[in-house]
A and B are shown apart, each in its own frame.
Chain A
Amino acid sequence: MPSFQEIIFKLKAYWAERGCVIQEPYDVEVGAGTMCPETFLRVLGPSPYRVAYVQPSRRPADGRYGDNPNRLFKHSQLQVILKPAPEDVIEQYLGSLEAIGIDLRQHDIKFEEDNWEAPTLGAWGVGWQVMLDGLEVTQFTYFQQCGGIDLDVVPAEITYGLERLTAFLQVKDSVYDIDWTKDFTYGYVRYRDELQYSVYNFEMADIPTLWKLFDLHEGEAGRLLALYDPKSADKKRFPLLPAYDHVLKCSNLFNTLDSRGAISVTERVGMIQRVRKIAVGVAQAWADQQSGAAAEVAR
């Protein structure tokens, strides 16, 4: 029975063999692997790319103080981007499940329509949730638009829910009981963060401080975006990646404020627009910045 980390190792090896850069998690908190620059910015423009990484993903509102066997404040996604999507991409994906020991001749795999949309990122795609014996184990998406821009080439995004997949393989009813290694369970490793972040996100986060942080990060992202000049000969130097980090900070602060019940109706709509504005701003500037330089960067 493979452990949690063995499953991760195997999946990474599988995708490495298929030409993926194996990245480490992005070092700014995100709500989903899609939001990492390795996906959000890399899908823009015509340059090919293949990458796989595990991304711990924070969803403050999903925290359950470590009490719920299936629901986590922070879960781990294995995110794979294949750009452009190869013709046999689904075969490759099914192969990855076999690589971690699932004999698909004896299990029921179904692809159920599930389109993905992230209004705050101006992004959407079409695809499926992949059901394995009735359990959703993967989200499979063909990106169509990102940052409000129609993509030049269509990437496939494969997002595995690692805890679920492991619970399936290890036949565990609670995510906390899965074996991270043969000596340590998932609960042993992660229970404390689930408890403490739930307490913080739902009870103790200081609302005025979070608001202040949001304003600061938004201000910094906006300041940088205002300085970006598409006509500048030096535009390749321009720090759009750092600007994007501030967008991610805003997104996470928004989610935290939301789980804290601090966002009123009128604010909520405005907040989504504020995050979208800087996210789309970065995406569009990035597309412009990379357009002339694509060949050079690829080298």
Chain B
Amino acid sequence: MSLPFLLEIGTEEIPDWMIPDALENLRLLFEKLAIPHESIAMDATPRRLVLRADGLPVRQADSEERVMGPAKSAPAQAVAGFARKQGVAPEALTIETTPKGEYYSFTRKVAGRQIKDILAETLPGLILQIYFPKTMYWTVKGGPRFIRPIRWIAALLGEEIVPFEIAGVHAGALTSGHRRLGAREIAITTADYEQRLRDHYVILSAEQRREKIRKELAGVAVKADPALLETLVYITEYPTAISGSFDSQFLALPEEVLVTVMRHHQKYFSVEDGHGGLAPRFVAVMNIPSDPEGFVQRGNERVLRARFNDARFFWETDQKKTLAGRIPDLAHVTFQAKLGSYLEKTERMRALANDLGGDDHAVRAAELSKCDLTTELVKEFTELQGVVGGLYARVQGEPEPVWQAIYDQYKPESMEDRIPRNRTGQIVSLADKLDTLRGCFRVGMIPSGSRDPFALRRAAQGVVKILVEGKIELPLLDFLEGNRALIDFFADRVKFYFKDHRGFAYDEVNACMAAGWSNLVGLEERLVRVQNLRTTPDFEPLAASFKRIRNILDQAKFNGGTAIDESLLEAGPEKELYEEYRRIAAQPLEGVISRLRPKVDLFFDKVLVNAPDARVRQNRLTLLQTLLAEFSTIADFSEIVTHS
């Protein structure tokens, strides 16, 4: 016989963004129990995490356990003692032949346990093990921790309740419906669970909620926003889309501001007008099936009107003082306790923009870049910092490169984001990030593990991305103040960028970086070259030879010799290698690799580097080192992992 299993952890509202990961985590924890099952399904709403599995056995299969006893040659007393310990007569023992000889053994039958008992025993610990980024306790100090209080648990194996308890909540056969449209206690079976919930205004399946919203959005030109859709799917149990409108006079405000208000503050979809602009409409998703009286629509319209009024009020108030006029106010805005105010940061950024080769526009943009932090609009909509500064700069007649640079200064915000659209913006963004990185490392605020409160990894990643993708040939290392920790930190970011983001092989990245990585544009070019070289048949053997050369030089503790003494070169492979080197020196490796390789191979075949004559030996080492140095400007090939 096989049984269906249902586990519903009923909670208070779980933050939407944590739900999918928590569900996956719950599934993995359950799979780890290794209870046989035919299928498993995971579902969640903000108030419940649900695991349903089919085809669980009633009992674990019986198993056999073999216990080895004394050797066949052991005294009868020892054999009897072993049998007694197993609870059987000595005659019940069998003799087993092993590589070490013959031994008594006993095969014990272990009855499989009831699955219900195993579940009852393991589920409390399993549930409390589900990972959440931030947990709370809700009973007493030291009590169980979860993302939000657990208020009910339904746990059924077939018809039977799996009995256990967490924080005073006993598992049962009851669920709970929609907070206001459903009953608080609903009797369920594994068969009717989903339908019972549906009857009480809970759509259990996220996919069905998503589809319902999608269907209701069809026909309205909403700005596609998959992330918002996911939020709404996991913040509702019975989602229904409704649309509303706002006064078109608000369309005079910048679209960035309108969209931010609608999306981030109100979780509305904005609607496009079909001509690249916004329509004075929005779509909200409510957690009830209908709005017959229009209460919800009017309520949301009113909230949006107030928000837009606020934004307009801030927009107009902010215009009374130019960005330039706000520079002194930055003295009152803390950048970071140990690093002073934004005024100080601005001064450092100006200097840095100049050092980075920025023109007057870049210096001007750096000077104005943080001024929007003192505006009402940014105080209200912090996520619009930079963007607002850019919009104000445009209105206040700053040249296009300047306002665009201010607008884009926080870009790229992720590996997928684009870098600032113009060179001025790239320089300003670099100046901002480098200043933050240098300052934080100087005062010891260095990210470790998952602790990175100042998002320094993202900042450094941004620097790398801008330098490479903006094709900015600056010596990055010259801007790191010789700070070892910061240099190592950047080395990791550079590796990550080329390896994980750009897909170069790790040994190619190591090899090219070993030949220097201060100029990231140059590094990228060399990586591409090595990647291409690698496809040629001569590459791997040559790389292996270079590795050999490196080892020989290391073993000889060779620190560089004088010039090669041609008179000491032996005729044959050594001389030929030297002459080949003379012919191809200073030429790109791509064109000469096929000529170089056989000479190197021959040299190693025929010539003994470790010659008895110290002068000859010294000269050969010099030859090898010269060769290595000549072709290591593109990469240190000894870092390449070869198969030969």
With A133-B300, A134-B299, A263-B332 in contact, is A113–B16 under 8 Å at CB? yes
B299–A269 contact, CB under 8 A?
A: no
> Which residues A118-172 have CB closer than 8 A to chain B?
125-126, 128, 132-135, 142, 144, 150-154, 168, 171
Contact (Cβ within 8 A) A269 B334: yes
Q: Say if the beta carbon of B459 comes within 8 Å of chain A.
A: no
A-B contact pairs, 28 of them (CB 8 A): A68-B313, A69-B306, A70-B309, A70-B310, A87-B149, A105-B181, A106-B288, A106-B296, A107-B296, A107-B299, A108-B296, A111-B46, A113-B13, A126-B134, A126-B136, A126-B148, A128-B13, A133-B298, A134-B266, A135-B299, A135-B302, A142-B136, A153-B139, A154-B138, A168-B299, A264-B341, A265-B332, A269-B337
B294 to chain A, nearest CB (A): 10
User: Is A104's CB within 8 Å of the partner chain B?
Assistant: yes
A264 to B340, CA, bound (A): 10
B331 touches A265 (CB 8 A): yes
Given A132-B299, A135-B303, A153-B140: A108 in contact with B288 (beta carbons within 8 A): yes
Query: Is A261 interfacial (CB-CB < 8 Å)?
Result: yes
**Residues of A close to B151: CB separation below 8 A:** 87
CB of A90 closer than 8 Å to a CB of B: yes
Q: What A residues does B615 contact at CB under 8 A?
A: none
Task: Give the one of B184, B306, B335, B340 with max A CB within 10 A.
Answer: B306
Question: B288 to A173, Cβ gap below 8 A?
Answer: no
* B293 partner residues in chain A, CB cutoff 8 A: 106
Chain A nearest CB, measured from B194 CB (Å) = 23
The answer on a CB contact under 8 Å between A264 and B331 is yes
B291 within 8 A of A: yes
- Most interface-central of B46, B137, B268, B335 (chain A CB within 10 A): B137
Mark out the residues of chain B between 156 and 185 whose CB falls within 8 Å of any chain A CB in the assembled complex: 179-181, 184
Interface residues on A, range: 35 or more
Contacts of B286 in A (CB 8 A): 108, 133
Q: Which residues of A contact B (CB under 8 A)?
A: 67-71, 84-85, 87, 90-91, 94, 104-113, 115, 125-126, 128, 132-135, 142, 144, 150-154, 168, 171, 173, 261, 263-266, 268-269
A108 — which chain B residues lie within 8 A by C-beta?
A: 284, 286-288, 291, 296, 299-300
* Bound CA–CA A135/B286 (angstroms): 12
**Chain A hits for B295, CB < 8 A:** 106-107, 133
- The reply to whether B288 and A105 contact each other, CB–CB distance below 8 Å, is yes
Are the CB atoms of A142 and B138 closer together than 8 Å? Answer: yes
Pick from B134, B149, B180, B341 the residue with the most CB of A within 10 Å: B180
Q: Is B66 an interface residue, CB under 8 A from the partner?
A: no
Contact between B291 and A106, CB atoms less than 8 A apart: yes
Contacts of B137 in A (CB 8 A): 144, 154
Contacts A115-B134, A173-B305 given; indicate if A152 touches B180 (C-beta within 8 A): no
Interface string of B555-589 (1 = CB under 8 A from A): 00000000000000000000000000000000000
CB under 8 Å from chain A, chain B span 305-346:
305-306, 309-310, 313, 329, 331-335, 337, 340-341
Which residue in B179, B235, B292, B306 is a CB contact (below 8 Å) of A70? B306
B369 within 8 Å of A (CB atoms): no
Asked if B469 is at the interface of the complex by the 8 Å CB criterion, the answer is no
**With A105-B288, A108-B296, A132-B299 known to touch, is A261 a contact of B332 (CB < 8 Å)?**
yes
Q: Are B140 and A111 in contact (CB under 8 A)?
A: no
B284 in contact with A134 (CB, 8 Å): yes
A171 to B138, CA, bound (A): 37
A-chain residues with CB within 8 Å of residue B236 when the two chains form the complex: 110
Given the interface pairs A133-B299, A134-B284, A173-B305, the reply to whether A68 lies near B310 with Cβ below 8 Å is: yes
Interchain CA distance A142-B299 in the complex, whole Å: 28
A150 to B145, CA, bound (A): 13
The smallest C-beta distance from A127 to any residue of chain B, in angstroms, reads 9
Asked whether any CB of chain A lies closer than 8 Å to the CB of B141, the reply is yes
Assess whether B203 is interfacial by the CB under 8 Å rule. no
CA distance A133 to B341 in the complex (A): 40
- Interface residue? B12 (CB, 8 A): yes
Which chain B residues border A110 with CB–CB below 8 Å?
Answer: 235-236, 287
B357 touches A (CB below 8 Å): no
Is there an interface contact between B141 and A151, defined as CB atoms closer than 8 Å? yes
**Shortest CB–CB separation between residue B395 and chain A, in angstroms?**
22
Least CB distance, B340 to chain A, in whole angstroms = 6
Beyond A87-B149, A113-B13, 16 additional pairs, beta carbon < 8 A: A67-B313, A68-B313, A84-B140, A85-B149, A94-B179, A105-B288, A106-B288, A108-B300, A110-B235, A110-B287, A112-B235, A126-B136, A135-B299, A135-B302, A168-B302, A265-B332
User: A69 to B527, alpha carbons, bound, how many Å?
Assistant: 60
Shortest Cβ distance from A91 into B: residue: B184
CA distance A144 to B143 in the complex (A): 12
- B399 in contact (CB, < 8 A): no
CB proximity of B353 to chain A, nearest CB, Å: 22
Contacts of A115 in B (CB 8 A): 134
B139/A154 in contact, CB under 8 A: yes
Least CB separation from A107: chain B residue? B295
Closest 9 CB pairs of A and B: A133-B299, A113-B15, A108-B286, A111-B13, A134-B300, A265-B341, A134-B303, A104-B180, A269-B337
- Bound-state CA distance A173–B313 (Å) is 14
Q: Which residues of B contact A265 (CB under 8 A)?
A: 331-335, 340-341
* B213 within 8 Å of A (CB atoms): no
Query: Which residues of chain A are near B306, meaning CB under 8 Å?
Result: 69-70, 173
Asked whether, in the complex, the Cβ of B179 is within 8 Å of the Cβ of A109, the reply is: yes
Residues of chain B within 8 A (CB-CB) of A144 are 136-137
Give chain B residues whose Cβ lies under 8 Å from the Cβ of A91.
Answer: 184
Which residues B260-306 have CB closer than 8 A to chain A?
Answer: 266, 268, 284, 286-288, 291-293, 295-296, 298-300, 302-306
A133→B138 contact, CB < 8 A: no
Cα A140 to Cα B235 with chains together (Å): 16
Q: Within 8 Å CB of B16, what residues of A?
A: 113
- Which residue from chain B places its CB closest to the CB of A135 in the assembled complex? B303
Contact partners of B337 in chain A: CB under 8 A: 269
Provide the residues of chain A in CB contact with B291, threshold 8 Å.
106, 108
